[in-house]
């Protein structure tokens, strides 16, 4: 009896997510993840395509503070087994309209640590900042990663909501993987 109740509740929740547009087949996707190493830092570049859904752009245009969060994970790549998670980071970009100066403040954070705040003159520039990870130095290579085959996975959380009046939901992309690379004593390969 409990199993049947659970299955009914799960089906209703899935239906509510679809009805609310929070699980969208036509939403933005990450078209590719680029990585490169400079010194000991792994830089990650990714972007949404199309940039942002209309509801997020409307939120930004309304003057409400709008945040997009990117989850970035570094894995040891294995062909025949689950990948081993080595590190994960959260890159959050918040754009806020400033009515007194008619521009947007764009604040970038990595793991809740402020990286920078810049002012952009238009909504389009603010939306572009929300829709991209711009070659960010994200992970630091160490000896524990020597001679390991590595891969970075990225996804973007660009909206949130509530299903059935109490269950928090999120609008997000699927995980996208970078190309495979290796960290050696001489650098990346």
Tell me the CA distances in angstroms from 29 to 102, 119, 135, 155, 159, one per residue in order.
30, 27, 18, 9, 14
Output the pLDDT for position 142.
Answer: 87
Its pTM stands at: 0.79
* Size of the chain in residues: 189
Contact of 95 with 106, CB cutoff 8 Å: yes
**Residue numbers in the chain where pLDDT is lower than 70:** 1-25, 82, 160-169, 187-189
What's the whole-number average pLDDT of the chain?
Answer: 83
Range of the domain at 59: 2-188
Number of domains in the chain: 1
Q: What count of other Cβ atoms lies within 10 Å of the Cβ of residue 12? A: 13
d(CA 65, CA 120): 14
pLDDT tens profile 6-30: 444 544 444 444 444 444 457 899 9
Please name every residue paired with 82 in a beta bridge, in sequence order, or none if there are none: none
Taking the CA atoms of the chain, what radius of gyration do you get in angstroms? Answer: 19
């Amino acid at each position: 009896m409990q199993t049947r109740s659970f299955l009914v509740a799960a089906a209703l929740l899935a239906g509510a997510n679809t009805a609310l547009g929070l699980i969208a087949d036509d939403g933005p996707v990450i078209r590719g993840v680029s990585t490169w190493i400079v010194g000991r830092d792994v830089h990650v570049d990714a972007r949404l395509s199309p940039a942002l859904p209309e509801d997020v752009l409307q939120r930004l245009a309304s003057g409400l503070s709008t945040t997009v969060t990117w989850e970035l994970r570094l894995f040891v790549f294995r062909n025949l087994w689950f990948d081993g998670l080595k590190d994960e980071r959260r890159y959050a970009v918040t754009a806020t309209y400033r009515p007194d100066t008619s521009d947007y403040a764009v604040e970038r954070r990595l793991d809740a640590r402020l990286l920078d705040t810049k002012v952009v003159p238009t909504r389009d520039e603010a939306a572009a900042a929300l829709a991209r990870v711009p070659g960010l130095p994200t992970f630091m290579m160490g000896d524990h990663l020597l001679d390991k085959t590595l891969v970075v996975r990225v996804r973007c959380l660009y909206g949130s909501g509530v299903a059935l009046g109490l269950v928090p939901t999120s609008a997000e992309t699927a995980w996208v993987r970078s190309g495979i690379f290796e960290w050696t004593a001489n650098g990346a390969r």
